[in-house]
Amino acid sequence: MANETTSTTLDALFSDVQQAALFTMQERGFMRPLVRNFNLQGQPGKQAKVGIYPKLATTALVSGENVDATNNAITATEKLFDCDEIAALVTLTDTARDSADDNTAASIGRILGETMALKVDEDIAALFSGFTESIGAAATELTADLIFQAVAILRSNSVMGPYVGVFHPKQTYNLKKQLANAGSANVPSLSDVGNRALSEGFIGRIAGVDLYESATVTGAAANEYSGVVMAADAIAYAVKKDISLETQRDASLRATEIVGSMTYAVGELQDGHGVEVVADAVI
């Protein structure tokens, strides 16, 4: 077997003066609550079927009180989401476990859990560029005006809030700068949002949109990223099996296999409930 975690690969943890084990920084997944969730756990099958009802038209009965109303046929559309499994395996040898000052098995479990949670966010962010409605451009800075435009499009589609916006930190840099009036010779009174951006780096809510930053947001080119303003029904997340961590002893190898896995699906649910916002990703 190859790619085991051994005393050689963990040599940096064996020093007698080792004070702490540090983790390579990565984001923790946060996008799942921002989209529509479907729970398939404990149910047969691994496919989520979601029916979407259409709008109905009404008719004014101007010709008399004894006239039948127009009959409406309701034809629901169906969206299907097939859950697939992801997994990651780390094999920890006994020598590596017993020689490290750190609780290596627990640390590996944390890494596996956070990695899979982040994978969900990456899959959700990859859907942002798929919405029909798209505003902005590669050379366009992210501004409050683009947020207002996205909200106007959603409300024109009769999409009610709450709304969320998810953008790359390099996109929101210019938005924060604008809100804080940075670099301007004139320093007018800032809004509450502008004050938070200046003092805390937190954007908050603009035009009813709760704004989030994530490095998982990408784009078609290195200098442009596709963020989004959307309602929850824009994207579906269906979970068949949530993050699971298991261990299995490999006695002949004198090691323990640590396996993380989950089964889920993500996909566009209602196209008109999301607006792609393309903005410059160069600081």
Q: pLDDT of 261-273, one tens digit each?
A: 899 999 999 999 9
* Sequence-separated (6 or more) residues with CB below 8 Å from residue 8: none
pLDDT score recorded for residue 15: 47
Q: What is the pTM of this model?
A: 0.80
Give per-residue pLDDT as tens, 19-32. Answer: 444 555 566 778 99
Alpha-carbon gap, residue 249 to 257, rounded angstroms: 6
Cα-based angle 14, 256, 112 (whole degrees, multiple of 5)? 80
What number is the average pLDDT over the span 126-149? 94
Specify the higher pLDDT residue, 52 or 147. 147
Q: Supply the mean pLDDT for the chain.
A: 82
Segments making up each domain of the chain, as ranges: 28-53+79-280
193 pLDDT exceeds 50? no
pLDDT score recorded for residue 65: 67
Alpha-carbon gap, residue 229 to 3, rounded angstroms: 42
Give per-residue pLDDT as tens, 48-96. Answer: 988 887 777 777 766 666 677 777 777 778 889 999 999 989 898 999 8
Unique residue bearing structure tokens 């954007």: 203
Among the listed residues 23, 26, 32, 24, the one whose alpha carbon sits nearest the alpha carbon of residue 212? 32
